[in-house]
Amino acid sequence: MIMNNEAMPPLLSNSPVRRHVHGTAELIAGFARSHWGFAVVLGLVVSWAVGWVLLDFSKMWHTLFDVLATITMLLLIFGLEVSQNRANRATQLKLDELLRVSTSARTELVKMEERSEEELDALQAEFQDVQQQHATVAAEGGRSDQATEARSG
């Protein structure tokens, strides 16, 4: 679910802490998505494996790596989640704006992400029917008024 500023406690809604967390999350997510991130992780894993063998399969070396891997994994998961939620929110706002300004769009589609699963399933079935009608019309080589009427509601 996409969180908005109204869902945030007033203390955190526009605080320097929130801006710092978002900035850090974006930095982590950006690094994780880059080829440099993959190269660094690959280098660390190879270094760990070599060190583990050189230290005669030390239990302490193995435990240290497990702890560091767990911490890194948690940072990546939360960093990517924050980044993805922000990107999803921006996309939803853009789509809502397109629906708002389009004269033929159904404005009830704005804020669909807040609807129930049943409502979303019904809308998906409706769009699948429209898609099948358009595919049939395209296969026949023309455009029927029925497909246009089904789309406009």
CB 82 within 8 A of CB 29: yes
Fill in the DSSP letter of residue 115: S
- Look up the pTM and report it: 0.52
3-state helix, strand, coil in the chain (%, to 5): 80, 0, 20
- Least Cα distance to 22 among 89, 82, 85, 80 occurs for 82
Beta-carbon contacts of 21 under 8 Å, excluding residues fewer than 6 positions away, are: 82
- Look at residue 90 in the predicted model and tell me its pLDDT: 87
pLDDT string in tens for the chain (153-residue length): 444 444 545 445 678 888 888 788 888 888 888 899 889 889 988 988 888 888 787 888 888 888 988 998 898 888 888 888 888 888 888 888 888 888 888 877 777 778 888 888 888 888 888 888 888 888 887 655 554 555 555
Please give the pLDDT value at position 60.
Answer: 86
Contacts of 136 (CB under 8 A, 6+ apart): 147
Res 131: pLDDT: 87
Over its C-alpha atoms, the chain yields an Rg (Å, rounded) of 25
Residue 31 has, within 13 A of its CA and on its CB side, a CA count of 15
